[in-house]
């Protein structure tokens, strides 16, 4: 098996475990594990911890220890140094908002597979040449939403997406209904007011309701 095929298989295993990926930004490190447990209690099996705050790497390590049966990865990676730090912290996958040649090249050998962020067909083709077949469409709604994804399927029927950005509970199922969408990411799963209030019951209910809505539509 080539490295590219192995990477694709890894991502396939991760994203086949759950159709929804919460995009999590940790403002208070003391909430990380409780938030993760609340999301898992609601049925989620993948946690994307963004590196938008200084608490991201520590949260990844803490969640890997507390929830060993859940996929924990790093999001909002913009440099190779961040990618390396995320892997060292225990990230099982990495997601970028956009793509650079340095990130794409590093992702071909990193132990944690990369889901590169793209918004155009040209960006997809640059990564495609390196063996990438799975992508994050970001910002999904601004980049064309479901119409863009349908268009991408024509010239490149073997690529798959996890769209993120502007997606809401009521639109997630529309994305998941497409053959080239493997999962959907969103911040609606972790509203900041609920996290700040430590309302873990509400967080679990949002996750459960969102999963039910998506699976019901499918």
Whole-structure pTM value: 0.96
Catalytic residue (one of 48, 54, 65, 123): 48
65 inside domain: yes
pLDDT, one tens digit per residue, over 120-171 is 999 999 999 999 999 999 999 999 999 999 999 999 999 999 999 999 999 9
191 inside domain: yes
Give the domain extent around 166: 3-213
160 membership: H or E segment, kind and range:
strand 160-161
Residue whose C-alpha is closest to residue 197's, from 10, 35, 1? 35
Catalytic residue (one of 54, 88, 123, 136): 136
218 has pLDDT over 50: no
Verify whether residue 48 is a known catalytic residue: yes
pLDDT, one tens digit per residue, over 85-119 is 999 999 999 999 999 999 999 999 999 999 999 99
CATH code at position 122: 3.20.20.70
Verify whether residue 141 is a known catalytic residue: no
* Euclidean distance between CA atoms 23 and 47, whole angstroms: 7
pLDDT, one tens digit per residue, over 65-92 is 999 999 999 999 999 999 999 999 999 9
218 inside domain: no
177 inside domain: yes
- For the chain, what is the domain count? 1
């Amino acid at each position: 098996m080539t490295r590219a095929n192995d990477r694709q298989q890894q991502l396939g295993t991760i994203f086949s475990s759950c159709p929804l990926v919460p995009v999590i930004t940790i403002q208070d490190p003391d909430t990380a594990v409780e938030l993760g447990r609340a999301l898992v209690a609601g049925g989620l099996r993948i946690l994307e911890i963004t590196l938008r705050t200084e608490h991201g790497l520590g949260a990844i390590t803490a969640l890997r220890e507390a929830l060993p049966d859940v996929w924990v990865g790093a999001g909002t990676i913009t440099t190779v140094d961040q990618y390396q730090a995320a892997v060292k912290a225990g990230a099982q996958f990495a997601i970028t908002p956009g793509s650079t040649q340095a990130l794409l090249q590093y992702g071909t050998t990193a132990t944690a597979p990369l889901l590169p962020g793209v918004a155009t067909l040209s960006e997809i083709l640059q990564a495609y040449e390196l063996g990438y077949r799975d992508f994050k469409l970001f910002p999904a709604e601004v980049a064309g939403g479901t119409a863009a994804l349908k268009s991408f399927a024509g010239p490149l029927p073997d690529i798959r997406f996890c769209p993120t950005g502007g997606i809401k509970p009521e639109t997630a199922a529309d994305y998941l209904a497409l053959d080239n969408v493997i999962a959907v990411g969103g911040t609606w799963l972790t509203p900041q007011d609920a996290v700040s209030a430590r309302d873990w019951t509400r967080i679990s209910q949002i996750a459960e309701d969102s999963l039910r809505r998506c699976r019901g539509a499918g």
